[in-house]
Chain A
Amino acid sequence: MTRPPDSALRRGYLLCHTCHQVSAAGAAHPQCPRCGAPLHARKPDSLTRTWALTLTAYILYIPANLLPVMTVTMSGQGEPDTIMSGVKELLLGGMWPLALLVFFASITVPVLKLLILTYLLISVQFRSQWRPRERTVLYRITESVGRWSMIDIFVIAILVALVKLGALATIDAGAGAVAFGGVVVTTMFAAMSFDPRLIWDAMEKQND
Chain B
Amino acid sequence: MPAPTPPELVACHDCDLLSPLPHLSEGERARCPRCGSVLFERKGHSLDYSIALALTSLILFVLANVNTLMRMNIGGRVQSGAIISGISELYAQGFWMLAALVLVVTILAPLVKILAILYVLAPIRFHLRAPGAIRVFRLFETLHPWAMTEVYMLGILVAMVKLKDLASLEAGVALYSFAALILVMAATDSSLDDHEIWERLGHLRDKTA
Contacts and interface: CB of A to CB of B under 8 A. Distances in A.
Interface string A1-42: 000011111010111011111111111001101111100000
Contact of B134 (A35, A102, A158): A35
B187 interface: no
Contact of B6 (A24, A155, A192): A24
Interface string A166-208: 0011001100011001000100100010001101110000000
A115 interface: no
Interface stretch (B31-39, B42-50, B51-59): B31-39
A7 B9 CA distance: 11
Size bin of chain A's contact surface: 35 or more
B125 interface: no
Contacts of B166: 163, 169
A160 interface: yes
Given A151-B154, A173-B90, A173-B98, A196 B18 contact: no
Interface string B57-78: 0000000000001101011010
Interface string B123-155: 000000000001101100110010010011011
A127 interface: no
A95 B158 CA distance: 10
A161 B89 contact: yes
Contact of A155 (B75, B101, B159): B159
B86 interface: yes
Contacts of A19: 137-138, 141, 194, 198, 202
Contacts of B37: 136, 140
A24 B5 contact: yes
Contacts of A169: 74, 166
B73 to A, nearest CB: 11
B95 interface: yes
Given A34-B198, A35-B137, A158 B6 contact: no
Interface in A142-175: 147-148, 150-165, 168-169, 172-173
A79 interface: no
A165 B71 CA distance: 13
Nearest to B7: A22
Contacts of B15: 7, 132, 136, 196-197, 199-200
B14 interface: yes
A34 B199 CA distance: 8
A139 B158 CA distance: 28
B35 A155 contact: no
Nearest to B157: A98
13 contacts: A7-B11, A11-B18, A13-B9, A17-B13, A23-B3, A27-B1, A35-B134, A101-B154, A155-B162, A162-B81, A164-B89, A169-B166, A173-B90
Interface of B: 1-6, 9-18, 34-37, 40, 69-70, 72, 74-75, 77, 79-82, 85-87, 89-90, 93, 95, 97-98, 101-102, 105-106, 134-135, 137-138, 141-142, 145, 148, 151-152, 154-159, 161-163, 165-166, 194-195, 198, 201-202, 205
Given A7-B11, A157-B98, A163-B72, 8 more contacts: A21-B198, A23-B2, A98-B157, A137-B35, A139-B14, A160-B90, A162-B70, A168-B75
